[in-house]
Structures are given as C-alpha cells and as structure tokens.
Amino acid sequence: MSLAEHFMRAAASLGCKANVLSYELSPYVPISCVGRVLIGKRWKDADLLDDLVETIRRERIKVVLPFVDPAIEKLSELGVHLAQNSQNLSQLSTLNSQNYGGVFIPISELGLCRTMFRKDKSAEWFAAHDIPQPKAVRSEELGVRSSSLFPVIMKPCTGSASMGIKVINNESEWRAVENKESYVIQQYIANSKEYTVDCYVSQTGEVISVVPRERLSVAGGEVVNSITRKDEELIALSHKILRSGAFRGPITIQFIRDLDTAWTYVMEINPRAGGGVITSIEAGVDIPLFILKESLGLPLEPVDDWEDNLLMTRYFKEVIFKNADNY
C-alpha cells in the first residue's frame, strides 16, 4: 500500500500519472484500495509467462516489479522472454527504454537471481567472491563433534520470509530433523544485530544508493520497526557485493553483526525492494522515482545525503470487502 502510494507521488513529480496494478490470486487484497487487482496464475503454472505477456499487452503495462521472492526469478525469465519476442509487444514501444520493447523490468541477471533464490548456491557465490558469511557447518561434523558446534541454525535452501528456519541446540534436536539435506547449516550467532541495506543499481551498473537500516523488530519475516544507520562498514560491504555481480534495480541485502566479535556477515540478498524499503524512501532515497525515471530514459544521480537515524514503525489497518462469498 505505502509503496504504491510512493509510486503515485513519484509519477506526479514527473508530471505523469501512475496506475498501479497488482497480479494476484484473489481480489481480496488491501492494495485494491489504491490500485486495480489482476487475477493471475501461480508461480509454478506452466503458462505463467504467457499469461504475464498477455496481461502486459492487454493492460499496456510499462513497468513490471517483483515484490515477493518467487517473483524475482520469474520476472527475470520474463525479461529474457520479452527480449526474445519483443515484436509481440511492438505496439508498446513508446518509452525511451532500452529494455524489452518498451516494458521496463528493473531486475538483475537471470543466473544471479536463480543463485540468490537458493541459499546453498548463494553461499557458494559469497565464498567465491570473498564476501564474509556465517561459518558453514557440515552434517557429518555435527555427528562427530556435536557438543562443540551446537547451537546451529538451519535454513531451507529455498525458504523465504524466515519460514522453516530452525535453531538446533543439541544432538537430540538434530536427530529429530528430517530431510537434513534440504537445509543450509551455519553457526548460530546468538548475540547479534540484524541490518537490511536498501540499494539501487542503475541499468548501466552504477550504484545509485546504499542505505543501511537496523531491523529493530520483526514479525512473520517482515520488519515492523527499522531505523537508518550510516554504518560505513555496511556501506562498504554493500558496494563490494553490488560490484561483484550483474545486479540491477532495487536490491535488498541482509546482514548480521556478531556483537561479541564485531564481525559482520551477509545472510542473504534479495534482488527486489524489501518490505521495509519505505524507511529508506522516507530518509531521502526515492527508489520509486529512480525506477520511473529509468523507465522514461531519464538520467539518475547517486544519492548519499539521506537522513541518518530515521525511525520507521508500522501498524495494522483493516480493509473491508462486502459480499465476499467466493473468498
């Protein structure tokens, strides 16, 4: 909701109007208060890309963005698909955009998106690029030297929003875990702080903004309270990461800092805008404006004079749907 409203304001600042459309499985979603809901396919449906192409053509959509993890890879695939079949959308080529026949998808390279969606593959990528991450623990090590390695944290290879994460404190808990091979296992850092860094990389590869914020409280994997921090180590690490791969558009990097050792490690990278990106936008980094400018072929200038120690806190608000008998 808030991000949609920011896109509307950004468009107005450019003398345009933004019509927000959301690709959903149900019409009963809050964003229908500010935009229009389009009923679509599931991520696993074989005809998803065809349906997205038809939706883009029918609705004359000019910008397409992912807002949940499964959408990242699918939209990167969509970009490749449109690049190969841009003649199907030739009537949409009214934007001064270098991408996909006038449809702007600010998304990272497909192989990189696939790597970041899997925690085992992303761990290999971090190691290959000398990016610090929590110490990996092998299953066989827990069976041999278990008392010195517990506690450990187990993360599903394809999990998101903190779902399925387990903290294992002892050997009996370890024995009770099924499908151990489907997890990445790392040292558990108990005394820690977690940070998110909201980034934007232009289509030419220039880093436009890097804004660290501390995650003060989280519910269901989404940040509820967050505060911007001008932390030079996080900013430097983020620049190193962004220079190491074909990242484009909004990027969210998750870090954890061990308060006992002061070491900082990357946890994961999501090639999309994070749920708490409103914090960075309100601090002065207008990512929706960056996206709309690039879609119109307008230049971007790096922004580093954002507001430090800006606190974002959230609340719930009800949306009521009448006659929802088919919910």
In this structure, which topology does domain 115-131+190-313 adopt according to CATH? D-amino Acid Aminotransferase; Chain A, domain 1 (3.30.470)
pLDDT, average across residues 240-247? 96
Query: CATH topology of 2-106 equal to that of 115-131+190-313?
Result: no
Q: 100 falls in which pLDDT band (50, 70, 90)?
A: low
- Partner residues linked to 258 by β-bridges: 192
pTM for the whole thing?
A: 0.91
Domain edges within the chain: 2-106, 115-131+190-313, 139-187
> With pLDDT > 90 as the criterion, what percentage of the chain qualifies?
77
pLDDT digits (tens, 9 = 90+) for 20-32: 999 999 999 999 9
Closest CA relative to residue 18, chosen from 30, 39, 40, 3 = 3
Token pair of 79 as six digits: 């970009």
Predicted pLDDT at 83 = 78
pLDDT digits (tens, 9 = 90+) for 75-99: 999 988 887 766 544 444 333 334 5
Q: Which amino acid is at 187?
A: Q
**Residue 256 CB contacts under 8 Å (≥ 6 apart), including other chains:** 134, 189, 192, 193, 194, 195, 264, 265, 267
Q: Is 215 within 8 Å of 227 (Cβ atoms)?
A: no
In eight-state DSSP terms, residue 88 is: G
pLDDT digits (tens, 9 = 90+) for 154-181: 999 887 666 788 999 988 889 888 888 8
Q: Which residues of 143-172 are buried (b: 16+ CB within 10 A; e: fewer)?
A: eeeeeebbebbbbbbebbeeeeebebeeee
pLDDT digits (tens, 9 = 90+) for 272-292: 999 999 999 999 999 999 999
Predicted pLDDT at 98 = 40
In this structure, which topology does domain 2-106 adopt according to CATH? Rossmann fold (3.40.50)
Is residue 257's pLDDT more than 50? Answer: yes
